[in-house]
Amino acid sequence: MMRVFVLTGAGVSAESGLGTFRDAGGIWARFDPMKLATPEAFAADPETVHEFYNLRRRNLIEAAPNAAHAALARLAGGVELFLCTQNIDDLHERAGSPQVHHMHGELLVARCGWCGRREECRGDLSVETICEGCWRVGGMRPDVVWFGEMPYGLDVIEARLAEADLFVAVGTSGAVYPAAGYVAMARELGIRTVEINLAPSDNAGAFDERRYGPATTEAPRFVAELLGQGG
């Protein structure tokens, strides 16, 4: 069975109404990440950071998976798929993907900075939120990887990439490392590489094949072709 490594970015969820980061009008065009998405920002002004992520969490809960998420869920039924996402939303899971590696964490999970306990979180967090593991306050935060922090499971990601027959990046900017370096790693290993994006990414030239258009159109088309269901 073909082994496919798929890396997804914000462009996959943009058509579900979740903001992208690097595009014009994206989240970081309107907000300063150094004031909202670093450990230092959280230490200096946890109330503002909580407010920002509470708004994003509410937005996510109201969102729905789109055709790109559904297509990648179908792909898992026909190949040996490792789905690695830079996104902190759960839309891949809601679309039916059985296994998703969230290298940048998950917005609907909270983590205690005191004891490290993780728990599902669908409501607001604040400096008054109590950790049910250590019963301390002030330490609960979104379980997301902020700038300056290490992504989750890099050893697992690199091991699964080394085993792949095909590397596909969907909706990624090609600007955020280490994820942006995976296409170069794949090429060094002799793995065929495909980019599916609204527009060329920062590292588009590193891909063997490039497909441009909305993720909701291009991802289903590519998956159908890969599974032998369409031309």
Catalytic residue IDs: 104
**What six digits make up the tokens of 33?**
């990440």
- Bridge-based pairing of strands 80-85 and 192-197 is unpaired
Quick one: how many helices (H) and strands (E) in the chain? 10, 9
Residue type, position 202, single letter: D
83: nearest Cα among 2, 151, 170, 1: 170
User: Of the candidates 63, 95, 62, 81, which has an alpha carbon nearest to the alpha carbon of residue 160?
Assistant: 81
With residue 6 as reference, give the H or E element that holds it.
strand 3-8
The SS3 call for residue 27 is helix
